[in-house]
Amino acid sequence: MSRLDSFIRRLEAQRTILNWAAASIQGRSGLALELGLGNGRTYDHLRELLPGREIYVFERDPHPNPLSRPPARFLVVGDMAETLPVFEGEHGAAAALIHVDVTTGVPERDKIAFAWLPARVAALAMPGAIIVSGWALEHDALEVLPLPEGIPEGRYFAYRRAG
């Protein structure tokens, strides 16, 4: 598979899993958290899927497409290793949906570089919350969910916060 094919498949998988995650939380209250703004593509998709829901976005170096910049009060700037614990102190386990899209670009490296992240995600998620991630999150409170149809094994990961 060429890198272009692989890139297209990754984006298709992202769209499929975000659509599925947003549908899964329909009718339930709670924040949405986007971990990693980047260009703002997935944030833009989430805000389209979740009109009216508060979506907080975490990013250490925000340079999105200007059309996809979150309002200042929903953009948490800084290293998530520091900003997530502060946010947790202010909001507690308030998230109904968390999308983890921070990466070093090398999946095997992500697990090591972000070893602190699964515990933060588990603490921010309310019981029953849906968490989707580009790499595997290992934490006792995160129950693995089957992937929606069309997502190849290992391309994305889905969890429910145990209650």
Please give the residue ranges that form the binding site for ligand SAM (CB under 6 A). 36-42, 58-61, 79-81, 101-103
CB of 127 to ligand SAM, least distance (A): 26
Nearest residue (CB) to ligand SAM, 14 versus 24: 14
Report whether 124 contacts 88 (CB < 8 A): yes
Nearest residue (CB) to ligand SAM, 30 versus 134: 134
Q: What DSSP string runs through 82-116? A: HHHHHHHHHH-S-EEEEEE----S-HHHHHHHTTT
Residue whose Cβ sits closest to ligand SAM: 38
CB of 107 to ligand SAM, least distance (A): 12
Nearest residue (CB) to ligand SAM, 27 versus 61: 61
CA distances from 87 to 3, 21, 30 (A): 37, 22, 14
CB of 162 to ligand SAM, least distance (A): 25
CB of 66 to ligand SAM, least distance (A): 13
CA distances from 7 to 11, 14, 108, 149, 151 (A): 6, 11, 18, 19, 14
Name the token pair of 153.
């094994």
Beta-strand pair 95-100/31-35:
parallel
State the amino acid at position 123 in one-letter form.
A
Report whether 78 contacts 60 (CB < 8 A): yes
Nearest residue (CB) to ligand SAM, 107 versus 127: 107
CB of 74 to ligand SAM, least distance (A): 15
Nearest residue (CB) to ligand SAM, 101 versus 129: 101
